[in-house]
Amino acid sequence: MPKKKKDVPEEIPTNEAQEPALAEVLDAPPPADAKYAEMLDKYQRCLADFDNFRKRTAKEMAERRSDGIRDACEKLLPIIDNFERALASAENKEDHFYKGIEMIARQFDNVLDELGVKSIETEPGGAFDINLHYAVAHTEDENFGENAIVEVMQKGYVHKERVIRPAMVKVAN
């Protein structure tokens, strides 16, 4: 006996509205939103790291330059002091030798100004500041108040708010 065919339709009914959506999902590349977000995050972190590196490097270079200026000035300040002593001890201020020494001292002052090195303004009668002055002598003097500077023995210098050498002073008690 011949086998009976079940009532099976020859075509399976499909929902045609689902078919294009399924085809789109299968043909589409994997979702790029997650990959894009990950790559964007890496890019932004890399930019931030590079910007921090650039700023840190610029700051370190500026600090090294300032340290170099301070180191060089520390070695030159005794020479400048000797020029000032020579000028102070000269008797004939019209002598050509005196004028030559004065010109050299002025050149040193100009170089210090160009480098941003300033002398500490210390006037007799001014207040003693432990951050700017170095007391090498004390005296009892009624003309000056307590902790007032009586005499400046050696000029002090600063570079960008940092003391290269404190001013050596005599202080009244």
Does residue 105 contact residue 90 with C-beta atoms inside 8 Å? no
What is the rounded CA–CA span in Å between residue 87 and residue 104?
11
Count the alpha carbons within 13 Å of 135 in the hemisphere toward its beta carbon: 15
Question: pLDDT 10s digit of each residue in the chain, 173 long?
Answer: 555 555 555 665 555 555 556 666 566 665 677 888 889 999 999 999 999 999 999 999 999 999 999 999 999 999 999 999 999 998 888 989 999 999 999 999 999 999 999 999 888 888 899 999 999 998 887 888 888 899 999 999 999 999 999 999 999 87
